Amino acid sequence: MEAPLWVLGTMSGTSLDGVDAAMVLTDGVQVLDFGPDAYRPYTEQERATIRSAFGLWPGDPGVEAAAEVVESAHAELISRFSGVALVGFHGQTLAHDPGGRGTHQTGNGALLAEALGLPVVWDFRTADVAMGGQGAPLVPFFHHALARRIGAPHPLAILNLGGVGNVTWIDPRHAEPESPLALLAFDTGPANAPLNDLMLQRQGRAQDEGGTLALSGTPDRSVVEAFLNHPFFYRIPPKSLDRNAFDLLAAVRHLTDADALATLTHCAAAAVAKGAEHFPTPISQLLVAGGGRHNLALMQALGQYLPNVAPVETQGLNGDMLEAQAFAYLAARVKAGLPTSCPSTTGVPAAVGGGKISLP
């Protein structure tokens, strides 16, 4: 058993708002405590540089400039913390093509280790993809540790509502996350992405703040029902989705802004309920993380489809920092030589430990 360490995890998501960093005290098995966290937004120029490299692969023009932005932003944020024994650096996903060219997270952990004088664990996804896995999601092993930390006695699920929704079904009675019946993880369907896209397209605003406009609308049930007939919902998990896999904006073209938002909200919630049909056993609660938990219309819609829906904060967790914390936990697992994904989370044929460690 490894000695517990204060590990700093970082995350920069595809929404490109900025970098999250959070400290976790862990031995790679248990989550023993949470430490400070911080956020560093990208500037418009930094955002544009990274966005112009989306879809590119190592060596392509524009990738090096994006990598420099990612590395310098992370170095700046990480240097604000003290007492860090190990860093988990996810980098920035530019391209993800499991079964094809692989996966590409830009940002060099070896350069970061040199600049910071700290050991850095990075390149978390490549090994999983190389073995035939999806390389995502990687957060489920952390979700399992959280379920055990809060002392959940029965199976539960943790739902992350980002651009796309993803869920982890957890049976915390299994001590090891790679146990065959401990976890099942998969993407549920579109979540915030179509809502934000509609607001931008129709009103020039980034989002429907708090779901206020959606709450004033009425969902078109025929659109929701047609949406639920998509073949994705009948595929057996684990499974993952591209952000733009559904053309939902076309389906609500005929509706007012409020009704369109209400309809898209119910599509997102109904997709989660449809996903729950794949759970090995019913759940005692659904804990929600990610930006979507701030959307009252979405949380209310989830409550109409599923029992005991609550934000992760009701269990003393931080729904904004969960992914950064996850990469702190995964870094500790890599250091301890423990697996970070398994067949029921990414579809990889056997439990595998991703990540490489760079020493200063």
326-344 burial, b at 16+ Cβ within 10 Å, e below that, comes to bbbbbbbbbbbebbbbbbb
Q: What is the pLDDT of residue 130?
A: 93
Convert the pLDDT of each residue in 96-108 to its tens digit: 888 888 899 999 9
> Residue 42 has what pLDDT?
94
Query: What does the pLDDT read at residue 300?
Result: 98
What pLDDT, on a 0 to 100 scale, did the predictor assign at position 240?
Answer: 79
| CB distance 134 to 347 below 8 Å | yes
What is the per-residue pLDDT for 206? 83
Question: What is the Cα–Cα distance from 288 to 299, expressed in whole angstroms?
Answer: 9
Bridge partners (DSSP) of residue 159 are 167, 288
Q: Can you give the pLDDT at residue 13?
A: 82
The pLDDT assigned to 262 comes to 98
Q: Which residues of the chain have pLDDT under 50?
A: none
Q: Domains plus CATH for the chain? A: 5-135+321-358 (3.30.420.40), 151-315 (3.30.420.40)
User: How many helices (H) and strands (E) would you count in the chain?
Assistant: 13, 12
